[in-house]
Structure 1
Amino acid sequence: MGGREVNWQGKRVTVAGLGVSGIPAARVLHGLGAEVTVVNDGDDERARAQAAELEKLGVTVRLGDGATLPEATELVVTAPGWKPDKPLFLAAEAAGVEIWGDVELAWRLRGPGAAPWLAVTGTNGKTTTVRMLASILAAAGLRTAAVGNIGVSLLDAVTGEETYDVLAVELSSYQLHWAPSLRAHSGAVLNLAPDHLDWHGSMAAYAADKGRIYEGNSVACVYNVADPATEDLVRAADVEEGCRAIGFTLGTPGPSQLGVVDGILVDRAFVENRRERAQELAHVSDVNPPVPHNIANALAAAALARAYGVEPAAVRDGLRAFRPDPHRIERVAEVAGVTYIDDSKATNTHAAEASLAAYDPIVWIAGGLAKGATFDELVGASAKRLRGVVLIGKDRALIREALARHAPEVPVVDLDRTDTGAMSAAVREAARLAQPGDTVLMAPACASMDMFVNYNKRGEAFADAVHALAAEHA
């Protein structure tokens, strides 16, 4: 089944899930003439309000019944988070009905001469890298947008009136799982670490879904030199003839790599005579903030932009113009000589380890919902940087036990509470442990939902507590 070439008139399509992807999919498909039925597990007040809006258009909505495949369904379009083993999908597969994600639908609905996609995935750093990439592309004078998991809806980008030269696309492992025909201009896997294994079933399955981003690439497959698993995915990919493997590294780059030399981001991939020459792109100081994992993000963004033909000056200008989203290694304040950093977005151990590697010495605020994670490797890698640790949240004991094994000399404050006011107490305990010149780093290595609606609310609570502390010292 194609996309634009499909006669959607009267085609019976089931959309699985209301929400940020399901609602646009239902609207677009209805607008194309399909007979759309939306099924949704939940039946709360919000779902009923969303259903009412869609029903006004003529879309059928079934709340509280996401397991049953509607009769005569010819195609299922699913929200990315729905697990592959749901009864709805098993029934579709048994009936020979195709299952597309919203990304697959968007890919199929692109018109003639549609903007190519520069696609980014990875366990951590996706959003920052895609937004850096969009900033670089815009600095080059290109009509672009950051889309996918962030920013503009992919469906809106490909079916709306606005036209683009190129799109910077963030893709999660869920989205890639449901996007079998996606073929990007160039793709990048930033890193791989265990995450969402309950959804994918195994690390191998998770990695394989990430690796789908390289399938059919035409110009460049960008990988992380420091993470050999990403290069393995390039090797396994079926790409167009002439597509190149391009590495990025925080060290001195080899041929066909981007890297760092004497504080300068350099390109030895998209230059003539790359065995002997390198092209300066930007200074490390142009990256905001210039911490190691963010420099790696900048190099990946630069590699994709260069693969598209962007000039070096636009890489520099785009990185200078970029401002990170809140709660991503965000400097909140300095109080009594101690710097307070909000990295609430560090919701897994891999992200927290990158954050902890950027500062020294640290008073670390950590804890929350572990999502099945273990913390020995994280604590072992970071122990020498820790001045002290303040633990909050439901699964803090797991971190406390790892600290006892790998950093027994580091003082630990275990706050036995999961109410939202615990963050204020955590900041005060961290301030007590810290010395002038230290960094208090809130990089929880855990999800937030035991105490907060999301990581944004957790970050806001941290910032509010720091600002209250600063006011007392003013």
Structure 2
Amino acid sequence: MDCSTVSTQENRLETLRSWDADWSGLRVVVTGISKTGFSVADTLAELGARVVVVAASDDDEARAHADTLRIVGVADVILGAGTSTVLPLVDGEQAELVVTSPGFRPSHPLLAAAAEAGIPIWGDVELAWRVQTKSGRKTAQWITITGTNGKTTTTTMVESMLQGAGLRAIAAGNIGTPILDAVRDPEGYDVLAVELSTFQLHWSESLEPVSSVCLNLAEDHVDWHGSFAAYAADKAKIYENTQVACIYNAEQIETERMVEEADVKEGCRAVGFTTGIPAVSMVGVVEGMLVDRAFIHERKDSAAELAKVSDIGDLVPRHLVANAAAAAALVLAYGLSPADVQKGLVNYHNGEHRIQPVASADGVLWINDSKATNPHAAAASLAAFNPVIWIAGGLSKGVDYDELVKAQAARLKAVVLIGVDSSTLAASLARHAPKVPVIAASGVHTGNKADPQAAANPTLSDGDAIMARAVAEAASLAVDGDTVLMAPASASMDQFSSYAHRGQAFMDAVRKLMESRASADKES
């Protein structure tokens, strides 16, 4: 492709800044056909673009989606593992744009071919921002949230606060509702609470949120980004073009540096959040109260009470307080009142699989934190309990466990390993917690020294059965005062369909254990 053709394409794309712009005939390749890919293709077809969808999947769901997309006007849908690696033509010509789903890495052959040809690549979030403005439809303001951990919790807290204030608001993006479905809602929303993964941020460039936050930063998804530096750089994009306030974690200097280096709108403020006593221009905690020293006129020598920490719930670990402080700062920047913050927290339901109490019996607390899919998330869980019988392991995503184990070793009474290959975690335990008993869920007891080989070769392949065994092993060790915490510090896809499946397997196993004990007590 010559330079003049590339320039013409870029000029046309620059004009596409609303639903009412001229999208007709635009040649687009869409990657993926799950929720994100389907919503992208459906939107572009409605806009009049010429769309070809490529996807590696070729199951019943993919074929059903393909049939629907062809009915609504998508030019072609190409399914199958081999086909998704080749950049197809659209109406016999090269595409003018690729819109990719988050699962496709930048190094994917199709995306690499597009980049080599000079074809712009967007994500679904970039497309959503560009099409949200439409005559006769309300245009929502955006509040954007990212971070290694806590994104979903903070996003749903923001949603609860906005709805408590009487606004039409919804959590969207990397959570539940695809962002394009939210912006196409016929009635429109006042505000969108948008959770963004680094995958989505990587392909975004035009967003202008009212307020934004990077909650925290720790090693994760190195396999997708190629390096921790690249991962951090994509996280930092959350702050670009923010209008009113960039919210940063005062307890993690990296997020403050992101704000300092961001290109924001004139007048945008930097506001910190903390689980301790807040300095000026921060939201924090004083004597069990969430307080504001950022959005009040007298912030130099006073603070405004927002809510009691206990308004969040009975079990409020430190990281959940941090999420609430961040959410409060985000909505205060939008213009909500302290009463709105409190109402939102009182009405908030933390949902399943994130530090979720499952049972309490004989003085033992059972906690499901299947959403702890990386070491940073698991550390937050472990820090909330002591002593802990820790159920952990799974698909590691190339991360290192040494820092996690070193920091939390003193809390560990025992570790029960799940996962097809938990050898990396087992090796870290052997190095940094050699006195902690480690047990493979296959039933192989390794005594006081972790055995990476045993952990790497469980005798059972079924995830539910492995989890049942893990719960039984934990129960045999737990006594009054202990917490059994299932916080895997790993992804779930080696043995389960999702973290939710893994969490449900844990809850089912605990429930069966409790029922078995109750039945035994009756018989005795």
**TM-score, normalization: structure 2?**
0.88
For 2:424 and 2:110, the matched residues in 1 are separated by: 36
The yes-or-no answer on 1:438 pairing with 2:500 is no
Aligned to 1:362: 388
Q: Which amino acid aligns with 1:380?
A: K
Asked whether the equivalents of residues 40 and 124 of structure 2 are also in contact (C-alpha less than 8 Å), the reply is: yes
Alpha-carbon shift at residue 362 of structure 1 (Å) = 0.9
More displaced stretch, 46-55 vs 304-313: 46-55
Aligned to 1:22: 37
Alpha-carbon shift at residue 366 of structure 1 (Å) = 0.8
For 1:68 and 1:453, the matched residues in 2 are separated by: 28
Q: Which one of 452, 456, 461 corresponds to residue 505 of structure 2?
A: 461
Aligned to 2:210: 185
Q: Percent of pairs identical after alignment?
A: 55
Q: Quick one: structure 1 residues 139 and 77, their matched pair in 2 at CA, closer, same or farther if it must change by over 3 Å?
A: same
- For each residue in 1:306-328, what CA deviation from the matched residue of structure 2 results, as whole angstroms up to 9, or x when unmatched? 00111001111101111112111
Asked whether the equivalents of residues 3 and 105 of structure 1 are also in contact (C-alpha less than 8 Å), the reply is: no
Alpha-carbon shift at residue 180 of structure 1 (Å) = 1.1
Asked whether the equivalents of residues 263 and 283 of structure 1 are also in contact (C-alpha less than 8 Å), the reply is: yes
The yes-or-no answer on 1:254 pairing with 2:279 is yes
Aligned to 1:235: 260
Give 1:98-109 correspondences, 5 Å limit.
98-109=120-131
For 1:29 and 1:403, the matched residues in 2 are separated by: 50
For 2:379 and 2:280, the matched residues in 1 are separated by: 29
Aligned to 2:184: 159
Asked whether the equivalents of residues 409 and 433 of structure 2 are also in contact (C-alpha less than 8 Å), the reply is: yes
Alpha-carbon shift at residue 171 of structure 1 (Å) = 0.4
Aligned to 1:422: 466
For 1:383 and 1:232, the matched residues in 2 are separated by: 31
- For each residue in 1:436-471, what CA deviation from the matched residue of structure 2 results, as whole angstroms up to 9, or x when unmatched? 121100001111122111111111111111111111
For 2:420 and 2:413, the matched residues in 1 are separated by: 23
For 2:400 and 2:425, the matched residues in 1 are separated by: 8
Aligned to 1:293: 319
Aligned to 2:96: 74
Aligned to 1:198: 223
Asked whether the equivalents of residues 70 and 77 of structure 2 are also in contact (C-alpha less than 8 Å), the reply is: yes
For 1:364 and 1:208, the matched residues in 2 are separated by: 33
Aligned to 2:517: 473
Q: Which one of 163, 166, 183 corresponds to residue 141 of structure 1?
A: 166
Alpha-carbon shift at residue 97 of structure 1 (Å) = 2.1
Aligned length: 474
Q: Which one of 123, 132, 150 corresponds to residue 148 of structure 2?
A: 123
Aligned to 1:61: 77
Aligned to 2:331: 305
For 1:427 and 1:140, the matched residues in 2 are separated by: 42
Alpha-carbon shift at residue 344 of structure 1 (Å) = 0.7
For 2:377 and 2:517, the matched residues in 1 are separated by: 32
For 1:72 and 1:389, the matched residues in 2 are separated by: 54
- For each residue in 1:365-422, what CA deviation from the matched residue of structure 2 results, as whole angstroms up to 9, or x when unmatched? 1111112122111111111111211112223232222222222222222233243211
For 2:506 and 2:68, the matched residues in 1 are separated by: 37
For 1:183 and 1:308, the matched residues in 2 are separated by: 13
Consecutive aligned runs of 4 or more in structure 1 exceeding 6 Å deviation:
none
The yes-or-no answer on 1:265 pairing with 2:308 is no
Alpha-carbon shift at residue 34 of structure 1 (Å) = 1.1
The yes-or-no answer on 1:91 pairing with 2:113 is yes
- For each residue in 1:35-90, what CA deviation from the matched residue of structure 2 results, as whole angstroms up to 9, or x when unmatched? 11111223334322221221222311112312322233111111122111223223
The yes-or-no answer on 1:44 pairing with 2:64 is no
For 1:426 and 1:153, the matched residues in 2 are separated by: 35
Alpha-carbon shift at residue 94 of structure 1 (Å) = 3.2
**TM-score, normalization: structure 1?**
0.97
Asked whether the equivalents of residues 336 and 473 of structure 1 are also in contact (C-alpha less than 8 Å), the reply is: no
Asked whether the equivalents of residues 335 and 473 of structure 1 are also in contact (C-alpha less than 8 Å), the reply is: no
Asked whether the equivalents of residues 335 and 469 of structure 1 are also in contact (C-alpha less than 8 Å), the reply is: no
For 1:91 and 1:19, the matched residues in 2 are separated by: 22
Give 1:1-20 correspondences, 5 Å limit.
1=13, 2-4=16-18, 5-20=20-35
Structure 2 unmatched ranges of 5 or more? 1-12, 443-457, 519-524
| Helix, strand or coil at the partner of 2:84 | coil
For 1:32 and 1:411, the matched residues in 2 are separated by: 60
Q: Which amino acid aligns with 1:28?
A: T
Which structure: larger Rg?
Answer: 2
Aligned to 1:176: 201
Q: Which amino acid aligns with 1:17?
A: G
Asked whether the equivalents of residues 122 and 204 of structure 2 are also in contact (C-alpha less than 8 Å), the reply is: yes
Structure 1 unmatched ranges of 5 or more? none
Cα RMSD (Å): 1.4
- For each residue in 1:236-289, what CA deviation from the matched residue of structure 2 results, as whole angstroms up to 9, or x when unmatched? 100011111111111110001111111111110001121111011111111234
More displaced stretch, 460-469 vs 39-48: 39-48
For 2:400 and 2:160, the matched residues in 1 are separated by: 36
For 1:346 and 1:242, the matched residues in 2 are separated by: 37
Aligned to 2:454: none
Give 1:305-384 correspondences, 5 Å limit.
305-384=331-410
- For each residue in 1:208-227, what CA deviation from the matched residue of structure 2 results, as whole angstroms up to 9, or x when unmatched? 11111100101010111111
